[in-house]
Amino acid sequence: MVICQRSESVELPENQPVKPDADLIVIGSGMGGLTVASLAAQLLGWRVLVLERHWRLGGFTHAFSRKQWHWDVGLHYVGGLAPGSPSRGFFDWVTGDLPWRMLPDHFEVLHLPQGKLTLNWRETEQAHALIDRYPHEASAIYRYFDDLANMRKRFGLALFAASAPAWLAAPMRLWTMRERHMATLTTQDYLNQRFKDPGLKLAIACRWADYGAPPAESAFGIHAMVLSSYAEGAGRPEGGASAIATNVGRIVRAQGGEVRVNAEVERIVIENGKAAGVKVRDAQGNAQTLHAPRVVSDAGAHTTCTRLLADAPLPAAWRNRIEALEPRSSAAVLYLGLTADPSTLGLTGENHWIVGETALAHAGASVDEVREGRSPLLFVSTASGESDDAGQRLPTAQVMVPMQADGMQRWSRTQWMDRGSEYEWMKAEMAAGLLDQVDKQLPGLKHIVAHSELSTPLTVTSMTGHPNGAIYGLAATPQRIREPIGVFTPVPGLLLTGADVCTPGIQGALMGGVFATAALIGPHGMPLLSRALARRQHS
């Protein structure tokens, strides 16, 4: 069923109420928006209209292909997939029980200046691997993993408290002073207080690209939540990440809803002080206003505040809080099409981190560092694109380098695929530098590459609309914990979702969607969702 659209040019008789185009409009089809859309359709039976500015669904869960090569854009691996865990239960519920392929037990390989270190996803084995390498810091390492477990429990409750009604949030805010202090330390301050060995600090914090802020900037609470999420296993969707949006689209349509691409929301419509819909423009430039009694934004808190609500009379304190956490972290990604499976090189789907001495010192590589093959930090995913039913997909790999968008400002006013020869030459040099650097640690990979293409921070902005090519939303700083954003906005009927209301990454975005759905249900939303999830998992 296609939801009726009302053009802006239609005039209604005076005092005649506008018939809503949907029960709920969701702006954006990232993991947070898809979660809200799926749960609202299934649990509440609502007609949901999902609006996506890109021509593909899924946000950072979308995929693209070249010939027989297939790449997931932003989902490289997801934690919290242990059978029976709440996060796995919500993933299954939202995606219609999409199957997952788990990464190998030894899922992370760190190529450190002191040598290679392989980590198991089980925290006890991670601890033993670190102690074997740094036995003189054994007690501090054990304490670190105790701190991770404590943050996982306490900070998780605090995150929900920011999105919960007051009666439910109050007991969840009862952190001890020590817990709150620890969560709001920078990761660097935590490391300096706990450890002495610089090599151990590098081994523990080099995966900061999983949440987008280096140790000097990031909150230890966010470091703990993201890295410890893999303590319940890590995996990737069977068939690739795009299966998430495909499955959610089916669920939404089954309830009479619609999922639309090439639909860029320009502003949120406010009538009588409440969110009443959105003004949207299609690929041909045609604008229309769509109405719904509820709107949920997965466009990012910063974009929602500064662009979609630019003219709205909002409290200055709320605007200032969000603007102070301006998204910054971006990346360049090299997509590789291979002629042979990476397993021929001994690569079995694990992640590889290529770590330089200065990997913790700044927030990303410069263009020159990438060109010259000396990026301080690289992430290499060797989990090839899943085979389709006919087994026609060829193996792939990806190389991600954290970067800032500053070095590309000269092309910021150009359009995707039309930035000029100098830009294309720069990208070719960056791709060559990345591949040379990776081949030194993973010998032979370079020789099985048949196709490569590079996306830059400018590509991210073009595809998502995120400022500064941001891939992780609001900055993961201690301020984000001291004054959490939560799902509620000053505009009645408008909620936020996604990673900004929880933690960076796919799992954080999922839980942001869960929190937003709970708020849509009402004061008892989270208890009702939890009971429904328990019934589903035990049925």
83/151 same-domain check: no
**Is 114 a member of any domain?**
no
The mean predicted confidence, pLDDT, of the chain is 90
**Is 108 a member of any domain?**
no
**Is 320 a member of any domain?**
yes
Chain segment 228-285, per-residue pLDDT in tens: 999 988 999 988 899 999 999 999 999 999 999 999 999 999 999 999 999 999 999 9
Chain segment 111-160, per-residue pLDDT in tens: 999 999 999 999 999 999 999 999 999 999 999 999 999 998 888 788 88
pLDDT score recorded for residue 416: 86
Closest CA to 328 of 220, 217, 485, 190: 217
411/342 same-domain check: yes
351/436 same-domain check: yes
380/461 same-domain check: yes
pLDDT score recorded for residue 291: 98
442/316 same-domain check: no
Phi and psi at residue 192, in whole multiples of 5°?
-65, -30
Mapping DSSP to helix (H, G, I), strand (E, B) and coil, where does residue 350 land?
coil
Sequence-distant (≥ 6) Cβ neighbours of residue 294 within 8 angstroms:
23, 24, 25, 275, 493, 495, 520
- What CATH number is given to the structural domain containing 506? 3.50.50.60
CB 493 within 8 A of CB 478: no
Chain segment 361-418, per-residue pLDDT in tens: 988 999 999 999 999 999 999 875 444 444 567 899 999 999 988 888 889 888 888 8
132/280 same-domain check: no
* Helix residue ranges per DSSP H, 75-186: 86-95, 123-133, 138-161, 166-172, 177-183
410/360 same-domain check: yes
453/341 same-domain check: yes
| Angle between helix 242-254 and 86-95 (nearest 10) | 60
Domain edge (last residue) among 232, 260, 275: 232
50/179 same-domain check: no
pLDDT at 337 over 90: yes
Number of domains in the chain: 3
On the CB side of 111, CA atoms within 13 Å amount to 19
Instruction: Tell me which residue has tokens 């001495």.
Output: 357
By percentage, how much of the chain surpasses pLDDT 70? 94
Instruction: Tell me which residue has tokens 């934004």.
Output: 297
pLDDT score recorded for residue 267: 97
Sequence-distant (≥ 6) Cβ neighbours of residue 114 within 8 angstroms:
133, 199
On the CB side of 171, CA atoms within 13 Å amount to 2
CB 46 within 8 A of CB 38: no
**Is 221 a member of any domain?**
yes
**Is 38 a member of any domain?**
yes
Domain edge (last residue) among 438, 471, 504: 471
CB 50 within 8 A of CB 258: yes
**Is 201 a member of any domain?**
yes
**Is 396 a member of any domain?**
yes
Chain segment 28-56, per-residue pLDDT in tens: 999 999 999 999 999 999 999 999 999 98
**pLDDT confidence tier of residue 11, bands split at 50, 70 and 90:** very low
Chain segment 298-320, per-residue pLDDT in tens: 999 999 999 999 999 999 999 99
321/332 same-domain check: no
**pLDDT confidence tier of residue 18, bands split at 50, 70 and 90:** low
461/348 same-domain check: yes
pLDDT at 479 over 50: yes
pLDDT score recorded for residue 172: 62
Domain edge (last residue) among 232, 258, 277: 232
**Is 11 a member of any domain?**
no
Which residue range is the domain that position 321 belongs to?
24-99+238-325+475-538
pLDDT score recorded for residue 240: 87
458/346 same-domain check: yes
